[in-house]
Copies of this chain bind each other. A is one copy, B any other.
Amino acid sequence: LLTLARDLRRRRARERQQLFVAEGIRTVEELLDANLAVHGVLASPELARSSRGAALIAATHARGIPYLEVSEAEFTSATDTETPQGVLAVAPVPDRSLEQLTIGATPRVLVLDAVQDPGNVGTMLRTAAALGAAGTVALPGTVDLWNAKVVRSAMGSLFRHHALACPTEALVAWLAARDIPLWGADMHGDPVSAGVAPGQLALAVGNEGGGLTPPVRAAAARLVSIPIASTVESLNVAVATGILLYELRP
């Protein structure tokens, strides 16, 4: 389990094995709460010392999940966090596809178009889940959704919210088949205001520095923007996503 956790820090290993690492007390708690399969839990001796940690260990045992305690140094060798909390879980990447995405009458779908910062992507997943989006689709160039920092920043929302990665053409075809228009966030787009959104909507948000990619721009029915002061270059991409999703709510 220790070797596996170390190995899963690489995207290629996660993709080959279809496993990911959830690290930190809260993230592992959320993982257990979400009733997803869990391959095993790795902990340092520190975990048992807090009551919250002890409860987590008990929950792991109650679920019959393999549990391994290693030394502080070994645990640290498997994580990238600055202040590890002494617990991580290895779990299978949930099997999700566009076809399985359940949409209601007025769905919102968030599209991540080459968004690269894992902290931003985690916050965007949390925001999309909180604001009721049916799902989030990560297009090529976006950081791996199962990167440990994305998992941590998403604060559990990745375990319940239907988030998946797929090629741009697959998304465009899926949207077209359901008559869901794709709008893109772009600083030169129309200023958004409440009440302008169509019933169904997919909203694409682009890379922190470069904006939308050409294929997404080409597929977008409309570009929208949030007007900002000229003294500021841009909003943080997660903040912009929150404003747009809220403003364009059904």
Q: Which residues of A contact B (CB under 8 A)?
A: 82, 119, 123, 126-127, 129-132, 155-157, 160, 193-194, 226, 228-229, 231-236, 238-243, 246-247
Q: Chain B CB within 10 Å — which of A123, A193, A228, A232 has the most?
A: A232
Question: Could you tell me the distance between the alpha carbons of A228 and B157 in the complex, rounded to whole angstroms?
Answer: 13
Which B residues are in CB contact (< 8 Å) with A132?
Answer: 228-229
B238 touches A130 (CB 8 A): no
Copies in the complex: 2
User: How many Å lie between the Cα of A129 and that of B231 in the bound state?
Assistant: 8
* 25 sampled A-B residue pairs with Cβ under 8 A: A126-B232, A126-B236, A127-B235, A127-B239, A130-B228, A130-B229, A130-B232, A130-B234, A130-B235, A131-B229, A132-B229, A156-B232, A157-B231, A157-B232, A160-B231, A226-B246, A236-B238, A238-B239, A239-B239, A239-B241, A240-B242, A242-B242, A242-B243, A243-B246, A246-B246
Which of B123, B229, B235 contacts A236 (CB under 8 A)? Answer: B123
